[in-house]
Amino acid sequence: MATAVSTSPEYPVKRPMPPVIRGLLWAAIGFLVVNVFISYVIDPLKGNPFITQPSVVLGWTAGLIGWLLGVGGWEEIILPAFGIMNKRPVTATGWRQYFGLSLHHKVVGIQYLVSSTGGFFIAGLAAMLMRLELMSPHMWLFPDPGQYLMTVGIHGTIMMFSVGTVALVGGMGNFLIPQMIGSNSSAFPKISSISVWLVPAGILTVAFSPLLGQWTTGWRGYEPLAQNDANGILFYYLGVFALTTSSLLVSLNLTATILFKRAKGLTWNRLPMFAWGMLVVSLLNIIWLPEIQMTFVMALLDRLVPFPFFTAVGSPLTYLEIFWLFGHPEVYIIVLPALTIWMEIIPVMVRKPLFAREWGVIGVIFVMMLSGFVWAHHMFTNITLQEELPFSFFTEMISIPTGFAYMVVIGTMWRSNFKLTVPSLLVLMSMFNFLIGGLTGVFNADPVVDLQLHDTFWVVGHFHFTIIGGMVFTWLAAMYYWLPKFSGRTYNSKLGVLGAIWVFVGFDGAFSLMFLVGMEGMNRWVPIYPPYLQPLNIAISIFAFILGAGFLFNLLHIWWAMRSGKKVEQNPWKSKSLEWMATSASLDDNFKEEPLVVASFYEYDDDKPAAIIPQQEVAASLS
Amino acid sequence: MSDQKQDGQNANPAAGETNWSRRQFLIGSVGVLVGATAALFESSNISKAASLIVGTQVDSGATSVYQNDYYYIPDQMTWRVGTPMIVNLQNMSPVHFHEWMIGRGGFNTAPNVYTDLDVQFNEDFWDGVHVTILEANGVDNLAVNKAIVKLDVPKGPWLVTQPGSGNFSPTMRPGGNIKLQFTVPNKPGIWQYGCFVQGFVHYLDGMKGTINILPA
Amino acid sequence: MIDLLLFLVFWIILSILGEIGVSVWGPHFYYYTASTQALEGLNASLFLFRVLTPIFVFVVLMIIFVPTRFKAKRDGSIIPGKRARTNRAYVGIWITVSIVINLLFFLHPTTSAAEEQFNQLQPAANTHDLIVDVTARQWEWRFGYPQYGVNAAVDPAGNDVLYLPVGKKVEFVLRSYDFNHPYDMGLDVIHGFWIPAFGEKEDVIPGETRYEVITPNVITSTEVNPMVRVQCSEVCGPGHPVMYAAVHVVSMKDFLQWVHAQHKAGN
């Protein structure tokens, strides 16, 4: 009906404002009005500063609401909620669909992926600046230590909350899950359509937090140091709040989608591994994100009111306890999707059924459940001795279900028909790197050793091996593997192999040397360090620059492949999964008719399809 | 969902006309990003350039200096020799105490294990200057050094007059303020000010500014 | 079967080579140790290296062995015949071994080392320790020796300095507050007391008194090896990177002389 009005020729054509611009405008208006009202009218401070703590918090909130309404929330969500349907603008076509609110799960998935990639490169740039600074034991690039520490915090915060938790869940999850389970949309398309716009808002809030002042806490935003910092920490809390809200909404949507939108015949025993991964990750998000959000609200009130929850006169360690209570599940939020992507890609590449599938599922579920029992292993240096042992126990135990992923993948590869392609190469690299991350974690799990390793570059090396090694390498594998789903085109094999080896060399060089420099006495968060550590730091920096260039190379290659790579058929990998039966490289419905799943997707010992389109079967039998 | 689908499929050439403008989108979003990035990285240079173009105003009479974590507002001032001044030094930090030293001629440094830290200025601006304290709330300490101090407020334990306690420096508790009345002495040139508290880290972290004192 | 045998042979040979590597390189894992506690940590990590080496070799060898040995002959082909969907022996061994190894790690070195730490902290075991009051503030360490009446030890240049006698158990009493500005609670944050060569760090937490027991076993100092330095390990604000102090481990005689000099200087 909306189209009928707008296409009539005599209807005066007024070009609408681009949604992003309108969002920025409404955000600016919302911020200015509320901020001025509070800082000048309600609660002016001495000297009448334009920005005060309460004004900037409430102003930011108004700005965020303005942004979400401006990009399309007003017409697509608020007005329809009141039954007003005819105000909706003409749906944009072509590339414009990606720069406004969209109800299509593929568009939303790509929006998430692009936002994550943007965050990845902003935070990566911060990392490059840090490595540049660390090439000298003195301050030379940054004007002062506070700015260096702030860069560390921005790097970590954006990487964790807009890349680690978002790329594979909001991005790959939104894009793939409906196709994988034989549906044309997610369960709540409006939720995802609005939640994706929280990501750029959150990234920019954190990236521009220095405008408010220095914060030196790193990605934990931890108390009581946060109370001690200037107002920039407010934008940390607010930006992370936006990003975690986005992940929370996505998780609600994905859970409902997997529960209720599966095609006929897609029983739990046939559910794709990646869908299992998305399900357990979504449950982790739903359990733990509200917890950390409430913690951030308390930390904000600590400053605004002020309350003494986490200050020196309150309970300083409580913040760290409840931060890590979320913070360790967060690590599994990042890595569980990656483990299940291994189990998606490897059977296709080795042409052999997925081995011990049930143990793969049991593994991710047990990791999900155990992940809430291990948090205090981040705190061996500040809890009492008797508290250490139970956390040490569970930390060591959680390696068992994590190891099941290796058991499944190795069992699948054994005596198979292994095809070495860019995705399978990247999965192998990811397995190698995550293995190093896991085995070095055994040392951290042991309190007597951890008391030496904690807060050193050993730990920096360890968690980058788990997160970049586990998640980012797998993200690259997934991008190359599902590239035809995005564009109907594929990558150039030689460039792909070059890109994979490039990041592998840069990554393993930089982060394995971090283990050594950490053992030699290099602790974290120090732009000024004793000169004897300089040679190793220079070597790390050089590898880090190679790594940064390698990621850029892969980005450009994937971008090129999407636009002008070689065109491929619908199902180039001859996979049995449902997503390869769905339409590729178009925003038409995934499935014209609902498919019927008749077998497991991983039976690569015959040529029978795992799913059929019933109508086509009927037509075929008639003819 | 079905509405969406129909809209997409019914897209016709006329609908393209009502699509939003690409140019507006590009100019607007790139403009905002560039502006914000400039504010992020170049704000101090921009303000310096602006003061070069507009010219700084010469302070006289009542002036405020705000201490924040870890910077001053303003971080550059222009005074003229012989001008009577009343500087209200106000600590805006909710947490940190801050001081205000003025000096030049290099620094005393403390040799530390790996890094030498600047401790205070070699030449103290306040040497021999008559200063009247008009108001003092929440003063942590006021090291007098060689300034000639007159109190208009009750004397407190915060007044440190013994020699060897460093340059003249009023140190404010969080939220504290002090009003100093003085006449700009005949010491023209570029002076620096800074805060060296907490193991000299505030200065290391950029809590500094400059005063250009013009000849009478 | 031949695949399995070949793999096993490779695995055993490479594991042995790996263990030899651990023997050669392992003792240098901590780079430099100057306390018995650091040696305990080093021994624990050597044990972990020993056990983890075959596991590491197993997975890495798999990652290399499989793509070379089972390389696809034809593009996109299906292997004819049934392929294993599971294998009870393999899954059973995998799960049993991973549980056993993790239980082993929990018993040794985790629990055995924790027991050692418990014993060291027993009050009865610490009646003759040297007590050092370590106070952290933004951004400075201060070291006091209450048994010797030294309030704040400084070197001639005026920097805080830590002197310890060799071979004597030292009990560090860790507190975080600003002794110059005790009214300002907002300044009290978490610091980390770490001397890399001593192999242990403990956080210093406002409002808590914490303890760390160390027995230095080598005469050494920051000048001898920069790993012998007090370094704040927990980020505590912009001054965090410069929050360090020099350490000297000296003979008991030299230590008493130094205490005397501190008394003379009125510290």
**What domain count does chain B have?**
2
Q: Among partner residues C76, C102, C111, which is closest to A399 by beta-carbon distance?
A: C102
Residue B145's pLDDT is 85
Cα A588 from chain centre: 27
Confidence of residue A621 (pLDDT cuts 50, 70, 90): low
Cα separation, B51 vs B55, in Å, equals 5
Nearest CA in chain B to A311: B95
A112-140 average pLDDT score: 95
A472-497 average pLDDT score: 95
DSSP secondary structure code for residue A314 in this structure: S
Instruction: Give B185: exposed, middle or buried? Use CB within 10 Å, 0-12, 13-18, 19+.
Output: middle
Specify the domain boundaries for CATH 1.20.210.10 within chain A.
Answer: 102-567
Chains adjacent to C (≥3 CB pairs closer than 8 angstroms): A, B
- Bridge-based pairing of strands C170-176 and C130-137 is parallel
Residue B39's pLDDT is 86
pLDDT at C85 over 90: no
Residue A152's pLDDT is 95
Confidence of residue A4 (pLDDT cuts 50, 70, 90): very low
Interface test with B, best of C242, C243, C248 (most B CBs within 10 A): C242
Instruction: Give C217: exposed, middle or buried? Use CB within 10 Å, 0-12, 13-18, 19+.
Output: middle
Residue A51's pLDDT is 87
Of A225, A89, A73, A64, the C-alpha closest to A149 is A225
Please answer whether residues B166 and B120 qualify as being in contact, where contact means their C-beta atoms are separated by less than 8 angstroms. yes
Domain CATH code at residue B185: 2.60.40.420
Residue A89's pLDDT is 62
- Give the residue, A67 or A75, on which the prediction is more confident: A67
Answer yes or no: do B95 and C187 touch at CB < 8 A: yes
Interval A407-460: pLDDT, tens: 999 999 988 888 899 999 999 999 999 999 999 999 999 999 999 999 999 999
- Structural domain harbouring B138: 59-214
What is the full DSSP assignment across C182-234? Answer: TT-GGG---EEEEEGGGTEEEEE-TT--EEEEE-B-S-EETTT-TTSEEEE-S
Interface test with C, best of B96, B112, B195 (most C CBs within 10 A): B112
Confidence of residue A148 (pLDDT cuts 50, 70, 90): very high
User: B164 and chain C: CB distance < 8 Å anywhere?
Assistant: no
Please answer whether residues C199 and C42 qualify as being in contact, where contact means their C-beta atoms are separated by less than 8 angstroms. yes
Cα separation, B100 vs B103, in Å, equals 10
Average pLDDT, chain C: 90
Sequence-distant (≥ 6) Cβ neighbours of residue B213 within 8 angstroms: B78, B79, B80, B81, B184, B187, B188, B189, B190, B191
Answer yes or no: do A214 and B28 touch at CB < 8 A: no
Please answer whether residues C145 and C131 qualify as being in contact, where contact means their C-beta atoms are separated by less than 8 angstroms. yes
Interval B95-119: pLDDT, tens: 899 999 999 988 888 777 777 788 8
Residue A592's pLDDT is 87
In a domain? residue B1: no
User: B97 and chain C: CB distance < 8 Å anywhere?
Assistant: yes
Q: Among partner residues C184, C222, C238, which is closest to B97 by beta-carbon distance?
A: C184
Answer yes or no: do C87 and A356 touch at CB < 8 A: yes
Q: Which of residues 108-167 of C touch B (CB under 8 A)?
A: 138-140, 157-159
Cα separation, A57 vs A54, in Å, equals 5
Interface test with C, best of A130, A270, A381 (most C CBs within 10 A): A381
The values of phi and psi at residue C140, to 5°, are -160, 145
Chains adjacent to B (≥3 CB pairs closer than 8 angstroms): A, C
Average pLDDT, chain A: 91
Cα separation, B87 vs C104, in Å, equals 70
Residue A460's pLDDT is 96
- Give the residue, B113 or A587, on which the prediction is more confident: A587
Nearest CA in chain A to C67: A418
Residues of C in contact with A399 (CB under 8 A): 98, 102
User: C63 and chain A: CB distance < 8 Å anywhere?
Assistant: yes
A374-381 average pLDDT score: 91
Interval B3-43: pLDDT, tens: 443 344 444 444 444 678 888 889 999 999 999 888 888 87
Nearest CA in chain B to A1: B3
Angstrom distances, CA of residue A142 to CA of A125, A129, B43, B204: 14, 9, 15, 11
Answer yes or no: do C238 and B204 touch at CB < 8 A: yes
Three-state SS at B37 = helix
Residue A616's pLDDT is 66
Answer yes or no: do A225 and C196 touch at CB < 8 A: no
Cα separation, A593 vs A581, in Å, equals 11
Confidence of residue A96 (pLDDT cuts 50, 70, 90): confident
In a domain? residue B4: no
pLDDT at C79 over 80: no
Q: Among partner residues A357, A431, A528, which is closest to C63 by beta-carbon distance?
A: A431
Q: Are residues B144 and B210 in the same domain?
A: yes
Rg of chain B in Å (alpha carbons): 26
Interface test with C, best of B113, B173, B204 (most C CBs within 10 A): B113
Nearest CA in chain C to A523: C233
Interval C172-222: pLDDT, tens: 999 999 988 888 888 899 999 999 999 999 999 998 899 999 999 999 999
Q: Among partner residues C3, C91, C110, which is closest to A415 by beta-carbon distance?
A: C3
A602-623 average pLDDT score: 76
Q: What percent of chain C has pLDDT over 90?
A: 72
Residue C156's pLDDT is 85
Q: Are residues B95 and B116 in the same domain?
A: yes
Q: Are residues B103 and B182 in the same domain?
A: yes
Nearest CA in chain B to C243: B199
B156-161 average pLDDT score: 84
User: B118 and chain C: CB distance < 8 Å anywhere?
Assistant: no
Please answer whether residues B16 and A15 qualify as being in contact, where contact means their C-beta atoms are separated by less than 8 angstroms. no
What is the full DSSP assignment across A99-132? Answer: GS----HHHHHHHHHHHHHHHHHHHHHHHHHHHH
Positive or negative, the CA dihedral B129, B130, B136, B142 is positive
User: A302 and chain B: CB distance < 8 Å anywhere?
Assistant: no
Answer yes or no: do A24 and B29 touch at CB < 8 A: yes
Answer yes or no: do B114 and A530 touch at CB < 8 A: yes
Q: What percent of chain B has pLDDT over 70?
A: 91
Answer yes or no: do C233 and A149 touch at CB < 8 A: no
Residue B14's pLDDT is 44
To the nearest whole Å, the CA of A300 is away from the closest chain B CA by: 14
B174-203 average pLDDT score: 91
Interface test with C, best of B198, B203, B208 (most C CBs within 10 A): B198
Q: Are residues B133 and B30 in the same domain?
A: no
Residue B114's pLDDT is 76
Per domain, the residue ranges of chain C are 2-70+91-121, 129-264
pLDDT at C39 over 80: yes
The values of phi and psi at residue C131, to 5°, are -100, 130
pLDDT at C255 over 90: yes
**3-state SS string for B96-127:** CCEECEEEEEEEEEEECCCCEEEEEEEEECCC
Angstrom distances, CA of residue B194 to CA of A120, A601, B99, B100: 38, 69, 8, 6
pLDDT at A384 over 50: yes
In a domain? residue B7: no
Positive or negative, the CA dihedral A335, A337, A341, A342 is positive
* Distance linking the first and last C-alpha atoms of chain B: 77
Cα separation, A525 vs A457, in Å, equals 9
Residues of B in contact with A224 (CB under 8 A): none
Confidence of residue A112 (pLDDT cuts 50, 70, 90): very high
Fold classified for A102-567:
Cytochrome C Oxidase; Chain A (1.20.210)
Angstrom distances, CA of residue A429 to CA of A28, A502, A623, B166, C124: 45, 12, 49, 60, 53
Interval A528-586: pLDDT, tens: 999 999 999 999 999 999 999 999 999 999 999 999 999 999 889 989 999 999 988 88
Sequence-distant (≥ 6) Cβ neighbours of residue A129 within 8 angstroms: A141, A142, A151
Q: Among partner residues B7, B24, B64, which is closest to A91 by beta-carbon distance?
A: B7
To the nearest whole Å, the CA of A268 is away from the closest chain C CA by: 17
Q: Which residues pair with B78 in a beta bridge?
A: B58, B212
Residues of C in contact with A490 (CB under 8 A): none
Residues of B in contact with C225 (CB under 8 A): none
DSSP secondary structure code for residue A580 in this structure: G
Q: Are residues B45 and B80 in the same domain?
A: no
Answer yes or no: do B70 and A214 touch at CB < 8 A: yes
Cα separation, A395 vs A414, in Å, equals 29
User: C62 and chain A: CB distance < 8 Å anywhere?
Assistant: yes
Q: Among partner residues C55, C187, C201, which is closest to A454 by beta-carbon distance?
A: C201
Answer yes or no: do A92 and B204 touch at CB < 8 A: no
pLDDT at C78 over 70: no
pLDDT at A355 over 70: yes
Confidence of residue B76 (pLDDT cuts 50, 70, 90): confident
Q: Say which CATH architecture domain C129-264 belongs to.
A: Sandwich (2.60)
Residues of A in contact with B94 (CB under 8 A): 306
Residue A6's pLDDT is 44
Residue A182's pLDDT is 92
Q: Are residues B100 and B182 in the same domain?
A: yes
Q: What percent of chain A has pLDDT over 70?
A: 96
pLDDT at B69 over 90: no
In a domain? residue B3: no
